[in-house]
Structure formats: structure tokens, C-alpha cells
């Protein structure tokens, strides 16, 4: 049974969320989305090179010597709870640098965490294998099982995304990582960041230490990825939101 104080706090959260939705749909809906500042051409990339392009927010496309990898594949104009004919949530500030149709066939999708501005569009990659921390998935499933007064904990996720991950596991296309993992493919590492942004966040590094002198990174302005040619030590590429993600933060 909720106390009067708990009930009051829940009402404050509800009003805050309703105010946020009002701002998103009345104010933000009138704002146009700025065009992307660059347009990568992955069809011209050589499979003999390491090539990286920032697509927007935390979405990064990597051609790792022929293996096509995508991080946090969220490319729609809005992110949030997806209903039949609309999405309830923040609107993009900038267009993604590539559309779904312009992406090459993706082999691996690396998910940093399960918030809906990082995880979505899962069904758009029918042949890809997805990687997420096991702790991230299990903690959100646990959260979904809590009683109603804790539902506010799920405001940052779409429960349908969590169920899609479970279905990927059924299909044998989900890898639930337990902590750090080196060489997801040779030269691509995953690093756990538990109890930081979420329960089971992770980040990606791209190493240049496998074939010194043979790889070259082509990087658009604003993406902090060092050139790989002649580098014989690990060189991390840490995708971030930068300034091209979503409004309503």
C-alpha cells in the first residue's frame, strides 16, 4: 500500500513526464531536423582497409576489413516508445548521415545499453548478430517484473525492445557478454561499464595493433578516431552522442 508521501512523489513524476511530452509534441514538432554535415559512401570502401564513419548520436558504421559492424542502430526521426502510427519521445537534432537503405548488409550490431535512443530498429538487420551485456538484459527483464509503482524506472526504454532481444536469443542471434571481451572480431573489443549510465553499459574499442602499416581510418570531422596507418599500439574509437543526436535531453 502506497504511503501519502510515495503517492505524492509518483504524481510529481507523472506531471513532469506529461510536461515533457507536451513540450516534445507541441514545441519540438515544429522544429525542422538539420541536415547531416557529411555523407559517407560505404559502397566505395575497400575491404582491405579499416574504415569508420560516424552516422549520428552514438551510431557508428565500421568496415573492419570486410566485416560490417554497426553500433547503437537508431536512425529514425524520433526515438522512444513506438506505437502503431507514431513514436512518443525526443526528436532528432540532425539527420543521420546514412539512411537504412544506404547501409551495407550488417554482420554485427554492438549495443552500448538498452535506452531507446541507443537500442532500436532491431528488425532492420535480419542477418546480424547482436552483442549486449548479459547484466543489461537481465536487469531490464527484472525491472519489467516489478510492481506498478516502480514502472517509472522504465521511462528510458521500450519494453518491446527488450522482448525483441529475448527473441534474438531464441533465434541464436544474440550474444550476452559477461564483462569485458576481447576480439569480438580480431581487433574489436567490448568493455563493461557496469552501474554507470545503466546497470550493464558497455563501450567499444577498435585496435590497430593487428597489422601495423596496412590499415587506414577515414574519419569525418568531429569523430575522434586516430589514423591507423603505421600505428602499432591500440587506438580506441569511443562512439559518443556528440552534438548530432536527439533533443529533449
Together in a domain, 158 and 134: yes
**All cell numbers assigned to 79:** 526515438
Nearest-10 crossing angle of helices 159-171, 134-144: 130
User: Does one domain contain both 150 and 68?
Assistant: yes
Q: How many domains does the chain have?
A: 2
Q: At residue 223, does pLDDT exceed 90?
A: no
Region 83-88 average pLDDT: 66
For the whole model, what pTM was predicted?
0.75
Q: Is the dihedral of CA 123, 105, 236, 57 positive or negative?
A: negative
Residue 134 to residue 82: CA distance in whole angstroms: 24
Q: What is the pLDDT of residue 54?
A: 93
- Whether 122 is in a domain gets the answer yes
Mean pLDDT, to the nearest integer, of 189-207? Answer: 93
Q: Are residues 9 and 95 in the same domain?
A: no
Q: Are 76 and 136 found together in one domain?
A: yes
Residues whose CB falls within 8 Å of the CB of residue 78, separated by 6 or more in sequence, listed in order:
87, 89, 90, 91, 92, 246
Neighbours of 110 (CB within 10 A): 24
Higher pLDDT, 30 or 50: 50
The helix or strand, by DSSP H or E, that contains position 144, with its residue range, turns out to be helix 134-144
Same domain, 139 and 54: yes
Q: Which domain holds residue 5?
A: 1-30
- Give the separation between CA 143 and CA 36, rounded to whole angstroms: 36
Q: Would you say residue 57 lies in a domain?
A: yes
Asked if 25 and 79 sit in the same domain, the reply is no
Question: How far is it, in rounded angstroms, from Cα 189 to Cα 182?
Answer: 4
* Per-residue pLDDT tens over the stretch 124-153: 999 999 999 999 999 999 999 999 888 888
Quote the pLDDT of residue 89.
67
pLDDT value, residue 245: 37
Evaluate whether residue 11 is within a structural domain.
Answer: yes
Check whether residue 117 and residue 198 sit in a common domain. yes
Amino acid at each position: 500500500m502506497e504511503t501519502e508521501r510515495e503517492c505524492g512523489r509518483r504524481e510529481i513524476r507523472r506531471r513532469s513526464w506529461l510536461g515533457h511530452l507536451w513540450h516534445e509534441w507541441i514545441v519540438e514538432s515544429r522544429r525542422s531536423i538539420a541536415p547531416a554535415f557529411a555523407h559517407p559512401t560505404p559502397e566505395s570502401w575497400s575491404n582491405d582497409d579499416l574504415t569508420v564513419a560516424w552516422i549520428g548520436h552514438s551510431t557508428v558504421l565500421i568496415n573492419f576489413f570486410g566485416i560490417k559492424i554497426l553500433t547503437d542502430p537508431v536512425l529514425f526521426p524520433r526515438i522512444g516508445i513506438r506505437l502503431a502510427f507514431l513514436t512518443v519521445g525526443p526528436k532528432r537534432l540532425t539527420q543521420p548521415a546514412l539512411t537504412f537503405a544506404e547501409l551495407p548488409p550488417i554482420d554485427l550490431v554492438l549495443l552500448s545499453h538498452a535506452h531507446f535512443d541507443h537500442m532500436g530498429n532491431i528488425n532492420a538487420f535480419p542477418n546480424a548478430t547482436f552483442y549486449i551485456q548479459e547484466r543489461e538484459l537481465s536487469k531490464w527483464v527484472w525491472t519489467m517484473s516489478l510492481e506498478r509503482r516502480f514502472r517509472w524506472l522504465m521511462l528510458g526504454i521500450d519494453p518491446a525492445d527488450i522482448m525483441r532481444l529475448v527473441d534474438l536469443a531464441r533465434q541464436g542471434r544474440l550474444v550476452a557478454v559477461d564483462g569485458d571481451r576481447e576480439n569480438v572480431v580480431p581487433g574489436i573489443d567490448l568493455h563493461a561499464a557496469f552501474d554507470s549510465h545503466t546497470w550493464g553499459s558497455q563501450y567499444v574499442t577498435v585496435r590497430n595493433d593487428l597489422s601495423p602499416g596496412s590499415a587506414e581510418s577515414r574519419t569525418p570531422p568531429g569523430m575522434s578516431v586516430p589514423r591507423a596507418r603505421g600505428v602499432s599500439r591500440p587506438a580506441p574509437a569511443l562512439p559518443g552522442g556528440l552534438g548530432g543526436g536527439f533533443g529533449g535531453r
